[in-house]
Amino acid sequence: ETGVTQSPTHLIKTRGQQVTLRCSSQSGHNTVSWYQQALGQGPQFIFQYYREEENGRGNFPPRFSGLQFPNYSSELNVNALELDDSALYLCASSSVDAWEFNEQFFGPGTRLTVL
Amino acid sequence: DQQVKQNSPSLSVQEGRISILNCDYTNSMFDYFLWYKKYPAEGPTFLISISSIKDKNEDGRFTVFLNKSAKHLSLHIVPSQPGDSAVYFCAAVSDSWGKLQFGAGTQVVVTP
């Protein structure tokens, strides 16, 4: 069984640019969540996708957007990059049953540096 | 606002002794709490969880205690091993979709 994978591992961008991060969910999982982990902090929930629809969003501006594809892989897009967007971006997948909580499985993350 | 707080950024413990990690929360709607462990260059991995209807959950060397009246939970690791050296995150959810709210983490170092 393949775990959650993310690409690229590292990325350097300049302020104002746009970036796309990718995530492949664990086999059989239909839900993906994205988190931002700034240095010295815990991961912060960005948004979640369930069966290709956004299913909740954290306190992040609209320039953070996402997609989930029919094969349940996902993208996180960030427009107009700011210095504070420098962080580790984590993707987590799960198979959510509406009647009970299921744990999430995290990928290794993409380290984004904005100069 | 930070609804899940881990006030100890670091903890050093001797091998074989008990590690106690603490976590406080402010949102009484949280109904499930989890602990994750994170090594450098890896994503967080699930360690142990507890439902809000319980006050204790045990899994091998790991035990989580929940005190709802104090809005406090703790993770006990007994005995601590060198491989336990990692960052530990406390997290909470208020629905079945698993939108996790994390604390800032505690760096645990287990010394020989």
Inter-CA distances, A94 with A33, A51, A73, B112, Å: 8, 12, 12, 37
- Whether the Cβ atoms of residue A42 and residue A35 lie closer than 8 Å to each other: no
Q: Which residue of B has its CA nearest to A30?
A: B97
Nearest Cβ partner for A96 among B42, B98, B100 = B98
pLDDT at A30: 87
Does residue B101 belong to the interface with chain A, where contact is any CB pair within 8 Å? yes
What are the chain B neighbours of A43 within 8 Å (beta carbons)? 44, 89, 100, 102
As a three-state string, the secondary structure of A3-67 is: CCEEECCEEEECCCCCEEEEEECCCCCCEEEEEEECCCCCCEEEEEEECCEEEEECCCCCCEEEE
Residues recorded for chain A: 115
Per-residue model confidence as pLDDT tens for chain A (115 residues) = 578 999 999 999 999 999 999 999 988 888 999 999 999 999 999 999 988 999 999 999 999 999 999 888 999 999 999 999 999 999 999 887 655 566 789 999 999 999 9
pLDDT at B9: 95
Cis omega (within 30 of 0) for bond into A108: no
CA atoms within 13 A on the CB side of A99: 0
Does residue A33 belong to the interface with chain B, where contact is any CB pair within 8 Å? yes
> What kind and span of H or E run contains B38?
strand B32-38
What are the chain B neighbours of A100 within 8 Å (beta carbons)? 96
- Whether the Cβ atoms of residue A102 and residue A92 lie closer than 8 Å to each other: no
Per-residue model confidence as pLDDT tens for chain B (112 residues) = 789 999 999 999 999 999 999 999 999 999 899 999 999 989 999 999 999 999 999 999 999 999 999 999 999 999 999 999 999 999 999 877 778 999 999 999 999 9
- Rounded to the nearest angstrom, the minimum Cα separation between A96 and chain B is 6
Q: Which residues contact A39 (CB under 8 A, 6 or more apart)?
A: A87
- Whether the Cβ atoms of residue A114 and residue A11 lie closer than 8 Å to each other: no
Contact (CB<8Å) A40/B104: yes
For residue B55, give the DSSP letter. Answer: S
Q: Is B31 left (phi over 0), alpha (psi -120 to 50) or beta?
A: alpha
What are the chain A neighbours of B42 within 8 Å (beta carbons)? 108
pLDDT at A10: 96
pLDDT at A15: 98
